[in-house]
Amino acid sequence: MADTDSVPIPELKAAGVNSMIAVLGKMTTPERFAAFVRSLPTATASLITRPRLAQEWIALADIDPLYTMSLHGLFDGDMHQLYELGRLQLRADMSGIYRVFLRVASPAFVADRAAAIYGVYGQHCGSLRVVGRTDHSLDFLVGERPFPSPPLFEYLRGTVAGALELTGVKDLAVDVAGRPGVDSCLFRARWT
């Protein structure tokens, strides 16, 4: 018999977490990164000191401190660095055959695939969906995201930019177009 009182635990696949941590480490000096790791909650620090297998699920509660604590502990409050973290991570993750495929795919096709992949690499983490499109723009809505924060949404804005950059669009800008709820963020991507 199922436990009707249980609450689903938001989780992400370790593959993405490991990749994000690798990029974080490259964005600073080894000394500063080591000090950052020592400042993290024990469960979060262990994600760095004992990386999980790519297919494992990791509780979002353990990952969440990375966004806010990196903003202050690594990036000196520079929110744009979280955008860069997401952008660089997405570009690093899409290598080899995936990069070639993205180069020939349309931004709309990539956006639809990104929305589907969001649900594959996260469970009970809300949703990402395309809610508007023109020939030169896409609107993405991240909704019902557990542990929402401005640093998290800035990181996600960067991942949107990283994915669309790989399609070869020119003059790309990805902005926050609205915050329809405390756990939601609307991103607007525009290009020429």
pLDDT tens for each residue of 13-27:
999 999 999 999 999
Q: Integer distance in angstroms from the first to the last C-alpha of the chain? A: 55
Q: Which amino acid would we find at residue 53?
A: L
Mean of the per-residue pLDDT values of the chain: 93
Strand order in the sheet with 173-178: 127-134, 137-143, 185-190, 173-178
In angstroms, the CA 70 to CA 76 distance is: 8
Domain segments of the chain: what residues? 11-84, 101-190
pTM of the model: 0.92
pLDDT in tens, 55-77: 999 999 999 999 999 999 999 99
Class of domain 101-190: alpha beta
The more confident residue out of 61 and 116 is 61
